[in-house]
Structure 1
Amino acid sequence: MEREERQHLRGVVEEVSGWRKLAASIVKEREPVEAAAEDAARQFFGRVTSLGTGATTAWCVLQLAPSDADLVTSLASRRALPALTAHAQQGIHQLTGDASRALTAVRALFGARRIFSGKSRKGEAGQAAAYLISLHEWAASTPLVSELESLAAWDGKSLPAIGPSTILDDTVGFAQRLGDRAELVGRHELDVAKTAVSAIDQALQREDQFRTAVNAAGNAVRQDETRKLVAEMPVERLKDATSGQLRITALIDAGIRNVQQVLDQKSRIRSLPGVGETTGKRMVGAARTIWQTTLDEMPVRIDIKNRSRATTQLLKTMRAWDAARSIRSATADLAAADAVRPLLQSLDSKTSHVAVVPQARTVAELRTALAAVEHRGALLKGGDTAAGGDPWEDFIARPADYYAMLADLGFLADDAEKSQGDLPTEIVEAVRELKLDTTHLKASLRGYQSFGARFAIVQRKVIIGDEMGLGKTVEALAVLAHLHAKGSSHFLVVCPAAVVTNWVREAQAKSDLRAFRLHGPGRDDALKSWIRNGGVAVTTYDILGWLEGRIPERARPACLVFDEAHYIKNPGAQRTRRSTALIERSERAILLTGTPLENRIEEFRNLVGYLRPDLSISASEIAPRQFRKQVAPAYLRRNQEDVLTELPERVDVDEWMPMSNADEQHYRAAVIEGNFMAMRQAALRAGAKSEKMQRLIDIVQEAEDNERKVLVFSYFRDVLDEVASVLPGKVFGPLTGSVPAAKRQSMVDEFSQARHGAVLIAQIVAGGVGLNIQSASVVVICEPQLKPTTEWQAIGRSHRMGQLESVQVHRLLSEEGVDQRIIEILARKNQLFAEFARVSETADSAPEAFDITDAELAREIVAAERERLLTGG
């Protein structure tokens, strides 16, 4: 080998030797990190356990503790090692292997070894030299050297220690080996669930204890109420209770004014002047008798407007008892507890986190099970963590359950009807003294309705602002019937066109008074008959202009009734000026409106001003309570919860109304086609021009004002689409037969969580079965159904156990056409069915015997309508 060749080889050897040292240092740095990480992984995998039942593994879990920080850090350190490129891996492999041996062999070509080495060694040295030169050339043509230098510069000692909570982080790199779908669950979640499981297990054994607690809390409520009542009883009641045998002068002289004070100061009474041991005992005994009698007759009252501490405690204990007694039937929660119990029981005291690897069940299912157990445990605990922290919210959400528990314990509340509103005492007494003459009234009045009618009679000009569905119409009719019995003859009702038919029908059905429709083509003749014979004339706000000057003095109305009185809240409107002119000339007037007093105070002040300009009403900024006091002489308002019992009432309202011109055009076209289904839809196909649609909009608006939600049913998808496009506000649906069951429930859930005024529209054959929609308390049925059971089932979606509010059912009916025909034909079928069902043990199978098929009904109705419309028959 020539000198220059040897010199070049020497430079190659030096460079490759330096690279070998870099490679060796890299290996030295990485090997322990890799080894530590692999050891950490082995330890973790060795601690993974399986959870499940029988041969099925639901989840695999790895418990982690703070002491695992070193193991997790080892995994993270390996993850943090700089990645080796293909060049780097190949280079390190050659430099720490063949290159290292070649560097040793090539020494025979340098120095004294070159002289003394044998031929064989020199041959090996030559091969080594050729390999090194080749390796050098390859390394020089790749980024190997720079990569080695970068790898060698990495310092693993600069990495901070990390805790077990990061084990599934990308920076640790263990998630891929454990399973990409693994998730971490914190100890807090598990501890809460563990406590809940313990509560569930205890609840199965402690139902009697919970029941005793409810009894105690219920009696505490009764005792509080009793104490309040007895504290209001004058001490003179002791004398009454003993038939005058006790003299109470000494008690009064001592400042003891009520019966409760006698009990509170019983030890003092015996030492009062003039009261000896025997008389003192009799006084206290009489007070105790009064107190006990009051307690015995005192029901447990749950008043959502008076949330006392004692009642709140009662609700808490009832919720706990309810959860305890229902736990045995809560199969889903018990199954959830069984699923997570092995994990919770196996938890080490030092465990801070658990890595969960899904097997037969997902991690989401585990979390769902933990949440279910936690919720059930919170209910059992009866603490503030359940039901949003407020037991009142749970009561409002499911009052029927609470009242059922009270019934079980003999505590069922017997809420008195709050019929008096905010009336002053002198008005209340005057109303009570009035005897309502119901000679000409066919309807039976509830207590609050009788009070409302008597209030209107006593006060002469009033607003009845009862919430929609409480029967304002029958209250007004009761007033007219009473006045008729006292000699009055003529009455005038003014209302929107959509409810004229309804007023005429109600007057005829619930009183002896003749009703006259001063609206439509026959209004001239009807007016003459009313003037001549007397009775109830029903007209509209728009017809008042026509009516001006046409009523002679002899037919001057003894009482005016303005229904939907919010129509005249605007003083500048023509209808308002005409209405107020009538009111000024009349001795009596009743304005009916379901709009709450708290809304649109200025408009309510206007209404009161029309009736009673003598009342001094402050500006709208005044506090509501003061405002109510100021308008009380002319305004009576009762809400559903004020006058209804604890079980929800169902109020059915048949909304009869005329067809608009647009409605009639749709209807006539359907009759000409002989299309029965189109005839049924016609009255709602004209959109905003439809009378039914306008009435539906009014119902929805009033529902929103009264903080209610609305459920709208129709048989027809096209009608629902029309309703959805016209109704303002938030509309859900349409819920139809094509919507999957899961989606239906999701739709109902979203509707249930929506704000007041929300509307859910549904096909009656789809939404009418299988769903609970208690969040809606107003039900609208757009057209009469061909089978009564269809309608009953639909209404039952809302009017069922768990409904806190009374349910208002509005049936939208056109006074002419197919709706009327269907009602007439089905009326006799319903009667037959009702009679059969009452006496037959096989009533469940009776519908087939008395129902008529859709085809038969269609043929009969279409024929009748063709004759009426096309031949004038």
Structure 2
Amino acid sequence: MGLDVQQRRRSDGSDDEDAGADHTAAAGATGVGRVAPPLGAVLVATEAAVNREDPQRVRTAAARVVDWVDRAGVVARHRARVTAEADAAFVELRARIVDVAIEDEGRWAVLPLRDADGHTLGRLARQVALPPLRPGEAAVLDQLTTEIPRVLRDVRSGFGLRRFFRGAKAREASERAARFLLEYEAWGSSAGVDATLDRLDDTAIPVGRVPVEHALAPGVGLTRRLPDSADAHLLEGTPVVVDQLPRATAIILAALAEEEPLRRSALDAATALRAAETDVVVAGMPVDRLRDATRERLLVRPLTDAGITSVHDVLVNGERLATLPGLGPMTARRIVGAAETLRHTTFEETTIRIDAASPSRGTHDLVRRLAAWDSGRRTRNPGRVVVRTRALAPLAVVLTGDVTRIVVLGDDPEGLLAAVAAVVERAPQIARTAPRPVPADPWADFLARPADYLTLLEELGLATSSEEAAQGGLPDEVVAAVRRCELRTDHLTVSLRGYQGFAARFALVQRKVVIGDEMGLGKTVEALAVLAHLWAQGARRFLVVCPAAVVTNWVREVEAKSSLPAHRLHGQDRDEALLAWRRDGGVAVTTYDMLGWLERQAEEEAPACVVVDEAHYIKNPAAKRSRRSARLIERAERAILLTGTPLENRVGEFRELVGYVRPDLVVDGSDLRPRLFRRQVAPAYLRRSQEDVLGELPELVEVEEWMPLSDADAAAYGDAVRSGNFQAMRQAAMLQGEASEKVQRLVEIVEEAEDNGRKVLVFSNYLDVLDAVARTLPGYVIGPLTGAVPAARRQEMVDAFTVADAGAALVAQIVAGGVGLNIQAASVVVICEPQLKPTTEWQAIARARRMGQLRSVQVHRLLSEEGVDARVVEILARKRALFAEFAAVSDTAEAAPEAFDVSDAAIMREVVEAEQLRLAGSGVVAVSATEDAVDPMNAAAAVQADDARVGDHGERESNADTSGQ
């Protein structure tokens, strides 16, 4: 129902103020919305004048309408007050909402509630409880509180003595108002205005109190006012959230505040070192480079004429450039601007690299300040705890002890609670950690543990790796789950790089995985981080299975980099170690050959986690060690297979490794599309390369040293080819002593290394070559280190090499020294002959090029220009391409099956036949067309005979079960 008062034009042209009613809506049971009579027609009809002899009728109608007006005013003011109080209550609550945003984890808006907020919620609920306005009722209230009072004033002016002092037009208006009033009263009586006002009048109902546990009930009205109310969750204010989070954040923030001056000092030193290195680069930048920094045409000839030849010179002489002949002020400003742009770009691209060979004063200062920061801080291995603490700190401030509920808006509240729990869990450890004494000699401390200092640089943001690369191309859902995992590092004594922490969390989330990180990235530490996390959560026994050559190294790593007990289940004391492991828990380290003995020591409980190092040893599912390892992996709740070379000759072998940890995965090894293959194994496989994640790794310089055969070499090589002896062909160029071109070059490399303060690793596959090299090389030679050398003696050789002076050489069989040992004291690697498997060479190089290596690593491959070396290098190139396609991420399309299936015997046949034909063409070798160039059976026997020379400790498996012997 709508009542309009408007200016209507009368027929005589004068203006009148008319009041009219317009009913268009139904009003339900009360009838307020029923259509009223055409009151406008009544107002303009002069013949329907009010009977001046009966004013009582007007007074009676006016009295009733006045009552309606008074009651409508009470209702309207009451509703406005309740609404204002509800708005104020929400403003009060909204002011308490705290936004929490944790990068890569979620965003939430959190509203803490106390029991005392029941009255505030009651004001919101009081508004919701107001009687709803039916159609037309809002208009009635508006008319009764605005328009009808004006009509009543006009009616009153037509009664009493006042009517004698008013003009004709005013009396007419009063009469029209009286007629309208009569009609309005009649309409209101029939439409049920009294009943409507009775229903809307709830002023007698007081504001109540709403228990906070009902805060999100529809009758309270809070959710309709909150943003993202569809995602609102009401959580109980648990002690972890209300009581412990404020204390935890206070502890962690206080620790950060204590170490901030030390951190800032280290960052300042790093910035100064970057600036100094930038100045060196800019000083060597010719002025012609200025053109690269701007689209403007710059004149550089006036600069060079004035002796300003570098960008550094421009920056130093910037103020006087405008005075040079041929340069004006505007051009000078452009030149200086371009120089500043180049310097800024160079500074941003300059990474911190600590030069151990020739450290500057700035380098020493940086190391000293890093040592002070590392000693003084209590937040080692911070992981995500610092990010979470800073994000949760504003929430902790408002979480007083009387908070009983929290309203969480936004992402899944479980993510918020997990972040809170992680901060609360970490705080006591930080509180217990005391600062350590600053090393007396920071530089010596740096040389002893360079990887820890490089981790400090990463925490400063100065040695970062690609986050995407660190994720190894995993699916988004796996990455998200890994990010949510909080890694406990209480029992680690080393700092983790970001990519290492990601690998550990990946293994924890996925439970059984293959980590195929390239050698040198610290897979051992990644596995130790998993074991330390599980130990902190209550797990007690873990087992590491590895080649015998690295048992000692594993025991050392566990003892040096964690607080977990280490037990050596290998050698004479293995029975006592087994009892200690079962009694005390910790990390047991055993070999593949010991698995048979370990199985016979029957025990129902499986290890909480099994780590299988150099997992490509179990790629053959038919081998005994593979079957035993598979049973062990299946029984364990968690398993980590470590290998830097998951694929060697066949994609099917890689499939076998994945099958050990995730037999449920459907992996189609016959489909040769690398991306599909990668997607299939993604839930169980993580691989990153050195270049992806180790920006501070030294430069790897690889040199192929091609040289001709000497006369003595050629004669020995011809004899080997005539006899079809592939192994002799490969060794011929290294067994002629000083008459050998390769040996002469090797001596030169070692002498040059000594002059440059470096040590050398010399690798060969053959014992005769190693013996010859050890006899021929000048200076201090250690070795040969072969597969026949016991594991303990191998480590002694490596230790002796580590402390030796520059120029020392460690001579090692590539299948023994290239597996498992850390030989980063060497920065020059020499490979005497190309290997038949690319992974064999990569493993050997990675012995020196590992995280913590401080110098560039030089790799020299000694290669003969003609003969077997060239043929093998061609085959190696094909194998490298295969590995790049499948073990790393590749866009390569389909490949041929034969590319994956090249056996050693096949290589031998191909090379020997080709060489016999080549030399026959030159008249050196005569080959009968009716006989085979090389007997495949003899070739295979030659391989077996050569392999057998590796020795019992070389981890080569025989058919006999020697476990436990």
Give the TM-score normalised by the residue count of structure 2: 0.29
**Counting helix residues as a fraction of each chain, which structure ranks higher?**
1
